[in-house]
Amino acid sequence: MARHRCHGPGCGLLLPDAGPAGGRPRLFCSERCRSRHRRLMQRIDRGRERREDRLQATAEERHRLRAAAFTVAREARRLAAALDAEAAEPDWRQPAGWGRPHPAGRLGAPYTRSALQLLEAAHVAVAAAVAADRAAGNGWAEIGAALGVSEDTAARRYRTPEY
């Protein structure tokens, strides 16, 4: 009959055969190995729970990032469509045809203002991307490296109550 070794982490001691009364063979050489084994199993369970939490949280953040990406796309399309529409307008209705002062109710630098809306949407997308990376388990050092700033700056800029 094969002899068993202790299941204690890193123990492996050969265990005595089951007695003539039979019964379940022992798994551990000692109470200490039994409790060490139990703690190890608990740690593995917690790791699994953490991984499941991470997958769930990342799925939610990925959904937010996707929405932010669509907003960027919408803003970009809106700007491109406005530029196309302007090209079809008569000269006097185009910014280059305004002269000075600006026509009543028109703000200066209209192209820059339009592009800034796009940038605003992109900033929201970057913040959503950082939250998604954080949820997936990335540290501030990795986020900072991707952004080209220090770990502290990245954390100060993008830390949220959740991440």
Residues 91-130 that bind Zn ion (CB under 5 A): none
**CB closer to Zn ion, 16 vs 97:** 16
Q: Which of 1, 2, 4, 8 binds Zn ion (CB under 5 A)?
A: 8
Q: How many residues bind Zn ion, per CB under 5 A?
A: 6
**CB closer to Zn ion, 32 vs 123:** 32
40 binds Zn ion (CB under 5 A): no
**CB closer to Zn ion, 13 vs 82:** 13
Q: Which of 4, 5, 11, 159 binds Zn ion (CB under 5 A)?
A: 11
**CB closer to Zn ion, 27 vs 149:** 27
135 binds Zn ion (CB under 5 A): no
- Inter-residue contact 118 to 75 (CB < 8 Å): yes
Taking CA atoms, 98 is separated from 60, 86, 106, 123, 135, in Å, by: 47, 13, 10, 32, 50
Q: Is 26 exposed, middle or buried (0-12, 13-18, 19+ CB in 10 A)?
A: middle
Which residues are CB-neighbours of 12 under 8 A, at least 6 positions away?
A: 5, 6
* Residue found under tokens 């949820």: 135
Binding window for Zn ion (CB under 5 A); candidates: 1-9, 68-76, 80-88, 97-105: 1-9
27 binds Zn ion (CB under 5 A): no
DSSP 8-class letter at 11: T
Binding window for Zn ion (CB under 5 A); candidates: 26-34, 62-70, 98-106, 152-160: 26-34
- Integer Cα distance of 157 and 120 in angstroms: 15
Backbone region of residue 42 per phi and psi (left: phi > 0; alpha: psi in -120 to 50; beta: other values): alpha
15 binds Zn ion (CB under 5 A): no
Residues contributing to the site for Zn ion (CB under 5 A): 6, 8, 11, 13, 29, 33
